[in-house]
Amino acid sequence: MLDLELLRSFVSVVDAGGFTRAGERVHRTQSTVSQQIKRLEDDVGQPLLNRTGKDVTPTEAGERLLSYARRLLALAEEARDVMARPGSEGAVKLGIPEDFAAYRLAKLLATFSRSRPGLRLDVRADQSTYLRRDIERGDLDLALLKRDAGEKGGIAVWPEKVHWVTSKTHPVDIKSGSVPLIGFPAGCLYRSRAIHALESAGRSWHMAYTSSGLAGIQAAVAAGLGLSILSDIAIQADHRMLTAKDGFAPIDRTEVALVASPDASPATLRLADRLAEFCDTVQAKAA
């Protein structure tokens, strides 16, 4: 088992770029920190740091260990925080798509959190490809994520309607040249669907605007920088939906799935119930 104190000193050395500054961070002398790094290297059986003059950088093995060290230290800190709370229900790590984060879901989560003061709620809005990865490797307890329709698994599933959109006041000239696209970075389901649809229709395209946040994409569409694919709940008043009459066929089916880890806690399952009720309401309004 790796010693957390050794890992803490290792992370501090990497972040500080040297043993002296790292010692100040962890309240140890330079020689003590150096000895701790040596013990850690002996434990893992590989050198973890390149020592060139005053500069200290991680080796390839050190880089691999670094991300695990950060996660282990964060989990230890979380465990101490949770156990220090009387009547604690533990923690629930939830992942949600960007458009759901911007659509009344924050109010639901705040209400749920206030109703369970002994619960620590950790919410992250991200692309579905990363949410899926993190729930599979145990970094999330629960996730709402976008995926291709008909995939297996999940507590509940809802069909999703997505549309091509342009600016209402500054529409893009969709009949000339390369189609300017607006979207999330590579890996986004909508982005790949948009590119596939255009290429299947024999149309050229280019990325005109890429944003990691939904608000940036919505604003870029409204300003007339290009076209994008958005779900019903993310389309705004200054957007105009494009249809087959405009030369843009409907997008292949996608869905929203609610997925929980195999060892989900009672608190996680209770939150899953609330999220399922929320998505049922959204689906009913969209019908």
Same domain, 69 and 103: no
Instruction: Please give the pLDDT value at position 188.
Output: 87
DSSP assignment of 82-106 equals HHTSTT--EEEEEEE-HHHHTTTHH
In this predicted structure, what is the pLDDT of residue 167? 97
Residue 81 is predicted with a pLDDT of 66
Q: Supply the pLDDT for residue 174.
A: 81
Are 68 and 131 members of one domain? no
* Same-domain pairing of 240 and 145: yes
What's the average pLDDT block by block, 10 residues per block, for the chain (287 residues)?
87 82 76 88 91 82 89 80 62 88 80 85 90 92 92 89 94 87 90 90 93 92 96 92 89 88 89 88 67
Here the CATH number for the domain that contains residue 17 is: 1.10.10.10
pLDDT value at position 34?
86
- Same domain (yes/no): 231, 122: yes
CA distances from 197 to 97, 204, 205 (A): 22, 11, 11
For residue range 101-146, what is the model confidence (pLDDT) as tens digits?
766 788 889 988 888 888 889 999 888 989 999 999 999 999 999 9
pLDDT at 102: 66
**How confident is the model at residue 86, as a pLDDT?**
53
Q: What is the pTM of this model?
A: 0.64
Instruction: Quote the tokens at residue 137.
Output: 């490797």
- Is the domain of 45 the same as that of 135? no
Query: What pLDDT score does 87 carry?
Result: 53
In this structure, the answer to whether residues 160 and 42 fall within a common structural domain is: no
Domain closes at, from 83, 113, 134: 83
Tally of structural domains, the chain: 2
* Paired residues of 95 in beta bridges: 124, 143
Same domain as 128, residue 240: yes
Q: Based on the fold, state whether residues 74 and 100 are members of the same structural domain.
A: no
Range of the domain at 31: 4-83
Query: How does pLDDT run across 255-269, given as a tens digit for each residue?
Result: 999 999 988 888 899
CATH number at residue 228: 3.40.190.290
Quick one: 98 and 70 in the same domain?
A: no
**Residues 16 and 130 both lie in one domain:** no
Three-class DSSP category at 284: helix
Asked if 198 and 133 sit in the same domain, the reply is yes
Q: Are 54 and 113 within one domain?
A: no
Domain end position, chosen among 15, 48, 83: 83
Quickly list H helices, the chain: 4-16, 19-26, 30-44, 60-83, 98-101, 105-115, 128-136, 189-200, 214-223, 266-286
